């Protein structure tokens, strides 16, 4: 194998750009994009004259209509590309997307236009031209003026690809329907045509092969870059010179003029000066041109013959005067035109006095310099939206630059500066999953994907879009649940999230769960259920016998020896809440593999789940560090499942499966009281004073039951607003009771060597001396909760060492005697002052330093009922605050009131 061949193979094997190979070896069409516009979609052919393969334009554009030129304009000499075209009767801007290209690569792009009366309208006459604009991306390439129906107009530009594609856009400015016959893209070496860079492109004015006696155009394969060198009409005072020898290029020639062009040249016939000129094109905004003169000596000069000349009319010329062309070696003189202020430019080549021969010129190129001054959309956004367009086959006017110019911005896409900030793809027939490209739109604020046919999960990455404020996913077929991060953003009020109710509100579709229940489980459950029902009915019956004087409607404890069951409501506890031991696999099924986190408690993460019968549950996984003594846990968990009260969160079941420990609770839809006070609940808005009182009473009753209803009493040990959960109708229940007995605390809670739980701000001041907790410790924590309900503030403010406890803050305000200062400003003065005074007094008693001065929970319940009665007398129920539930307004004065 010869050395050059080996080099070629080396590059081929490396997969290096074939451009490199072309330089080393044979000209190749690799990297060319050659589009014959208007031929049938998917059709390809190889051009007879150039051997360049052409393809149809279907894959590069979505819009426009294909046409043949009219038969009367067809003739056999007409190159095939000129016989068909694509016309764009609709849309102000229609763009071809040329890909693949290399970002930052340098390319030559050529477009041709042959009207040929394709539309039968006999336009394209000098008195009725077709005028439209051609753009590369957002920058003008050329204004096209078609005024001859049989002529083929052609224009070429050299430019840098700013992305992995290049947009060629035809813009209709109301003077005729834009159309195009062919579009060709050719890669150039980045070292070539140095005037082409990120700020400027070059638009061809003329590229002429001088001294040729044929009318043959030189292009590929003679020119490996497929530049078109047109034969130049000879001036009468010029004479031709030529050679049959090959004219070589310098190794690092920046223009690589082909030998076929360099082999002919002109010299002045009878003078020592060669002149030419050109005029600014009509309507051409360019006032500066880039000129390249290609020279080579074609005669073997012997003796004292010498050819030397100076060039005038080119500024910043390289190389500088004088010039002496080398024999059979291609050389170039290039630079910008001088600013003349006239519409005509003159260049002259004048022999120096030392020269014995006249100047010589083999070829010349003239380009208009085009600034790329219009701002394009941020390239990352362009890439992302292009990927979205491709993924969903979006057929809108999604062509060219998404944002700019504003007049042609994409339908449903809005931009701020050069970033995409809004996308509306509602009802756009999108199918499949939400693609990761959306995650790359860093500035997006508004995303509407509603009413499409999107499926699959709602991806987590949507929560990473930091600017996203509105997300509409309604009317699709997503499965799974809303990612926790997204839900949390919504809950914090950072995101307006619209989604189908079956995902948002009812994540337990019964269909799905039915499938999961296998027949044996159903049988077992039914048997267990019937047996349990019988047992419970028997116990209830026995208790009614044993406890005389029980009020009708009240009912029995569920087999617990701990609690008296005095305040239990048997009817309100259907069998679904009967305690069960779950396996870990059952938990996995219930929580859909722990996909939705709804909280992080003192003992571990809490997940949303659905039990087999479709009831929503909260699954609290216990972190390993907190699982001390599995035996103890089991005993305690079984105990806890027996404790039932309207104001206690029910333990549905538990799991002890290998190392996995978990508690399964009833699900409380509205989250915890702290979140609701912060106004970040799902409803938003503010809890009214009356609702706060009702919540306070509910919570107090739950605690009272633990203290009085259970024997021995259950000390909660961690009473706080985040352990009070709210249900659908804002009924409050105490959570996490009894856990202190079962577990050590972990990082979230106050840690001591004793088995203590508690949260800073809620801890009984006496505890620091006695290290003991009793019912009065819970009363202290409850007092803090009351103060939070009144003020809306957290217990410790401000965070840090300067913190002041809520009891002190309220006490110092009380000293000034102004209740308005104390009450949560979010209530906007909407409260019954008498009841507030009463509750503030009660809260201050509960938070007394000495436990002996604190009331019992039974006292608290009594006082609160009185306060609530005051409110119910004073306020028209129908006008109460934002959280009032219709029809429930009188509940507070009902069974729980005296």
Ligand X SMILES: *[C@@H]1O[C@H](CO)[C@@H](O)[C@H](O)[C@H]1NC(C)=O
Q: Is 453 in the site for ligand X (CB under 6 A)?
A: yes
Q: Which of 42, 37, 96 is nearest to 66 (CA)?
A: 37
Q: How far apart, in whole angstroms, are the C-alpha atoms of residue 686 and residue 647?
A: 22
Out of 1, 2, 42, 48, name the contact with ligand X by CB under 6 A: 48
Which element (helix H / strand E) includes 545? helix 519-546
Within 497-526, the residues that bind ligand X by CB under 6 A are: 498
Within 151-170, the residues that bind ligand X by CB under 6 A are: 151
Torsion region of 726: left, alpha or beta (phi above 0 gives left; psi -120 to 50 gives alpha): beta
Out of 27, 58, 91, 129, name the contact with ligand X by CB under 6 A: 129
Choose the catalytic residue: 36, 484, 491, 718: 718
The contact mask relative to ligand X for 386-415 (x = CB under 6 A, - = no) is -------------------x----------
Nearer to ligand X, 499 or 810 (CB): 499
Q: Is 324 in the site for ligand X (CB under 6 A)?
A: no
Output the smallest distance, CB 421 to ligand X, in A.
Answer: 15
Q: How far apart, in whole angstroms, are the C-alpha atoms of residue 764 and residue 851?
A: 8
CB-based contact 680:493 (threshold 8 Å):
yes
Q: How far apart, in whole angstroms, are the C-alpha atoms of residue 704 and residue 563?
A: 12
Output the smallest distance, CB 375 to ligand X, in A.
Answer: 9
Within 191-250, the residues that bind ligand X by CB under 6 A are: 216
Nearer to ligand X, 248 or 750 (CB): 248
Q: How far apart, in whole angstroms, are the C-alpha atoms of residue 291 and residue 315?
A: 10
| Cα of 455 vs its chain's centroid, Å | 17
Any catalytic annotation for residue 880?
no
SS3 23: helix
Nearer to ligand X, 127 or 802 (CB): 127
Residue 729 contacts by C-beta under 8 Å, 6 or more apart in sequence? 885, 888
The sign one gets for the Cα dihedral 448, 451, 453, 457 is positive
| Cα of 369 vs its chain's centroid, Å | 38
Nearer to ligand X, 111 or 822 (CB): 111
Nearer to ligand X, 4 or 53 (CB): 53
Out of 42, 174, 283, 894, name the contact with ligand X by CB under 6 A: 283
Structure tokens at 165: 């594609």
β-pair partners for 133: 143, 171
Contact window for ligand X (CB under 6 A) among 87-95, 138-146, 178-186, 844-852: 138-146
Within 469-488, the residues that bind ligand X by CB under 6 A are: 470, 472, 479-480
Output the smallest distance, CB 611 to ligand X, in A.
Answer: 17
Output the smallest distance, CB 302 to ligand X, in A.
Answer: 5
Nearer to ligand X, 98 or 146 (CB): 146
Q: Is 808 in the site for ligand X (CB under 6 A)?
A: no
CB-based contact 724:672 (threshold 8 Å):
yes
Q: Is 59 in the site for ligand X (CB under 6 A)?
A: no
Output the smallest distance, CB 522 to ligand X, in A.
Answer: 21
Q: Is 545 in the site for ligand X (CB under 6 A)?
A: no
Q: Is 889 in the site for ligand X (CB under 6 A)?
A: no
CB-based contact 76:157 (threshold 8 Å):
no
Output the smallest distance, CB 221 to ligand X, in A.
Answer: 13
φ, ψ dihedrals at 320, nearest 5°: -75, 165
φ, ψ dihedrals at 573, nearest 5°: -120, 85
b/e sequence 686-716, b meaning 16+ C-beta within 10 Å: bbbbbbbbbbbbbbbbbbbbbbbbbeebbbb
Q: Is 131 in the site for ligand X (CB under 6 A)?
A: yes
Give, in order, the Cα–Cα distances in Å from 589 to each of 515, 517, 657, 813: 11, 10, 15, 52
Residues that bind ligand X (rule: CB under 6 A) add up to a total of 39
Torsion region of 834: left, alpha or beta (phi above 0 gives left; psi -120 to 50 gives alpha): alpha
Output the smallest distance, CB 432 to ligand X, in A.
Answer: 8
Contact window for ligand X (CB under 6 A) among 63-71, 186-194, 222-230, 411-419: 63-71
The contact mask relative to ligand X for 284-323 (x = CB under 6 A, - = no) is ----------------x-x---------------------
Out of 226, 331, 448, 666, name the contact with ligand X by CB under 6 A: 448
Out of 69, 98, 124, 140, name the contact with ligand X by CB under 6 A: 140
Q: Is 117 in the site for ligand X (CB under 6 A)?
A: no
The sign one gets for the Cα dihedral 858, 862, 863, 867 is positive
Q: Which of 825, 820, 860, 833 is nearest to 844 (CA)?
A: 860
Segments in 705-856 forming alpha helices (H): 739-742, 767-770, 775-791, 806-815, 819-822, 833-846
Output the smallest distance, CB 176 to ligand X, in A.
Answer: 11
Contact window for ligand X (CB under 6 A) among 142-150, 568-576, 595-603, 738-746: 142-150
The reply, when asked if residue 396 is annotated as ligand binding, is no
The sign one gets for the Cα dihedral 454, 459, 461, 466 is positive
CB-based contact 578:525 (threshold 8 Å):
no
Out of 1, 13, 42, 77, name the contact with ligand X by CB under 6 A: 77
Output the smallest distance, CB 148 to ligand X, in A.
Answer: 4
Instruction: Determine the residue with CB nearest ligand X.
Output: 472
Nearer to ligand X, 58 or 889 (CB): 58
Parallel/antiparallel/unpaired status of strands 580-582 and 651-657: parallel
Q: How many residues does the chain have?
A: 898
Contact window for ligand X (CB under 6 A) among 137-145, 395-403, 414-422, 825-833: 137-145
Output the smallest distance, CB 327 to ligand X, in A.
Answer: 6
Q: Is 264 in the site for ligand X (CB under 6 A)?
A: no
Q: How far apart, in whole angstroms, are the C-alpha atoms of residue 181 and residue 148?
A: 15
Out of 68, 321, 488, 858, name the contact with ligand X by CB under 6 A: 68
* Binding residue ranges: 620
- Per CB under 6 A, residues contacting ligand X are 48-49, 66-68, 77, 79-80, 126, 129, 131, 139-140, 145, 147-148, 150-151, 216, 282-283, 300, 302, 371, 373-374, 405, 426, 448, 450, 453, 455-456, 470, 472, 479-480, 496, 498
* Binding residue ranges for ATP: 620
Active site residues: 718
């Amino acid at each position: 194998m010869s050395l050059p061949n080996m080099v070629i193979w080396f590059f081929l094997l490396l997969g290096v750009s074939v451009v490199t190979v072309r330089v080393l070896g044979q000209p190749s069409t690799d990297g060319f994009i050659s589009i014959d516009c208007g031929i049938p979609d998917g059709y390809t052919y190889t051009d007879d004259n150039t051997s360049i393969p052409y393809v149809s334009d279907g894959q590069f554009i979505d819009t426009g209509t294909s046409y043949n030129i009219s038969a009367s304009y067809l003739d056999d000499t007409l190159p095939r590309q000129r016989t068909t075209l694509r016309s764009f009767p609709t849309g102000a801007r229609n763009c071809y997307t040329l890909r693949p290209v290399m970002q930052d690569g340098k390319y030559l792009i050529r477009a041709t236009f042959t009207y040929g009366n394709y539309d039968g309208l006999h336009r394209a006459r000098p008195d009725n031209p077709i005028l439209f604009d051609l753009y590369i991306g957002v920058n003008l390439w050329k204004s096209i003026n078609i005024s001859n129906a049989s002529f083929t107009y052609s224009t070429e530009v050299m430019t840098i690809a700013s992305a992995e594609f290049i947009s060629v856009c035809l813009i209709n400015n109301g003077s005729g329907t834009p159309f195009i016959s062919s579009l060709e893209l050719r890669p150039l070496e980045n070292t070539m045509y140095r005037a082409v860079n990120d700020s400027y492109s070059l638009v061809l004015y003329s590229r002429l092969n001088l001294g040729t006696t044929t009318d043959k155009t030189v292009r590929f394969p003679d020119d490996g870059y497929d530049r078109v060198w047109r034969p130049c009409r000879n001036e009468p005072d010029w004479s031709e010179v030529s050679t049959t020898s090959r004219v070589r290029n310098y190794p690092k020639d920046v223009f690589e003029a082909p030998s076929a062009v360099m082999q002919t040249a002109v010299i002045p016939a009878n003078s020592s000066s060669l002149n030419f000129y050109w005029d600014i094109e009509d309507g051409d905004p360019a006032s500066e041109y880039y000129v390249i003169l290609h020279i080579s000596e074609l005669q073997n000069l012997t003796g004292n013959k010498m050819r030397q000349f100076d060039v005038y009319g080119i500024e910043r010329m390289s190389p500088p005067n004088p010039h002496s062309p080398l024999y059979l070696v291609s050389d170039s003189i290039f630079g910008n035109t001088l600013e003349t202020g006239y519409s005509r430019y003159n260049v002259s080549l004048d022999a120096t006095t030392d020269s014995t021969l006249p100047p010589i010129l083999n070829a010349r190129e003239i380009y208009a310099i085009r600034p790329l001054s219009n701002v394009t959309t941020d390239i990352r956004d362009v890439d992302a939206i292009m990927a979205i367009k491709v993924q969903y086959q979006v057929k809108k006017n999604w062509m060219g630059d998404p944002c700019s110019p504003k007049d042609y911005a994409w339908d449903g896409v809005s931009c701020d500066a050069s970033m995409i900030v809004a996308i509306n793809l509602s009802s756009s027939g999108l199918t499949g999953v939400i693609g990761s490209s959306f995650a790359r739109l860093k500035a997006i604020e508004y995303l509407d994907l509603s009413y499409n046919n999107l499926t699959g999960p709602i991806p987590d990455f949507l929560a990473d879009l930091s600017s996203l404020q509105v997300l509409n996913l309604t009317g699709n077929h997503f499965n799974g649940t809303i990612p926790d991060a997204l839900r949390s953003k919504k809950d914090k009020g950072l995101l307006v999230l619209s989604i189908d109710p079956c995902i948002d509100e009812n994540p337990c579709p019964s269909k799905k769960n039915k499938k999961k229940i296998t027949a044996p489980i159903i049988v077992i459950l039914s048997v267990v259920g019937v047996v349990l029902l019988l047992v419970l009915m028997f116990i209830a019956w026995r208790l009614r016998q044993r406890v005389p004087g029980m009020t009708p409607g009240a009912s029995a404890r569920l087999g617990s020896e701990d609690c008296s069951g005095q305040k239990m409501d048997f009817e309100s506890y259907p069998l679904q809440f009967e305690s069960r031991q779950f396996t870990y696999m059952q938990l996995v099924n219930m929580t859909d593999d722990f996909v939705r986190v709804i909280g992080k408690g003192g003992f571990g993460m809490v997940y949303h789940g659905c039990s087999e019968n479709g009831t929503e549950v909260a699954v609290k996984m216990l972190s390993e560090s907190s699982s001390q003594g599995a035996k103890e846990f089991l005993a305690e968990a079984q105990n806890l499942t027996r404790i039932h009260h309207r104001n206690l969160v029910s333990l549905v079941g538990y799991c002890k499966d290998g190392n996995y420990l978990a508690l399964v609770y009833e699900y409380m839809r509205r989250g915890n009281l702290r979140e609701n006070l912060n106004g970040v609940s799902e409803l938003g808005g503010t809890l009214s004073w009356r609702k706060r009182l009702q919540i306070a009473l509910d919570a107090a009753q739950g605690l009272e039951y633990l203290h009085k209803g259970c024997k021995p009493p259950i000390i909660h040990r961690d009473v706080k607003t985040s352990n009070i959960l709210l249900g659908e109708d804002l009924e409050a229940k105490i959570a996490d009771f009894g856990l202190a007995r079962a577990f050590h605390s972990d990082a979230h809670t106050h840690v001591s060597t004793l088995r203590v739980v508690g949260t800073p701000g809620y801890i009984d001041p006496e505890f620091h001396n006695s290290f003991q907790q009793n019912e009065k410790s819970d009363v202290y924590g409850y007092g803090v909760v009351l103060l939070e309900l009144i003020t809306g503030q957290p217990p410790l403010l401000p965070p840090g060492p300067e913190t002041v406890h809520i009891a002190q803050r309220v006490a110092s305000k009380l000293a000034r005697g102004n209740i308005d200062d104390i009450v949560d400003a979010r209530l906007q003065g909407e409260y019954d002052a008498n009841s507030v005074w009463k509750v503030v007094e009660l809260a201050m008693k509960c938070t007394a330093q000495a436990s002996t001065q604190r009331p019992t929970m039974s006292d608290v319940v009594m006082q609160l009922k009185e306060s609530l009665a005051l409110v119910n007398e004073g306020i028209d129920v129908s006008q109460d605050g934002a959280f009032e539930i219709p029809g429930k307004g009188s509940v507070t004065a009902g069974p729980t009131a005296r």
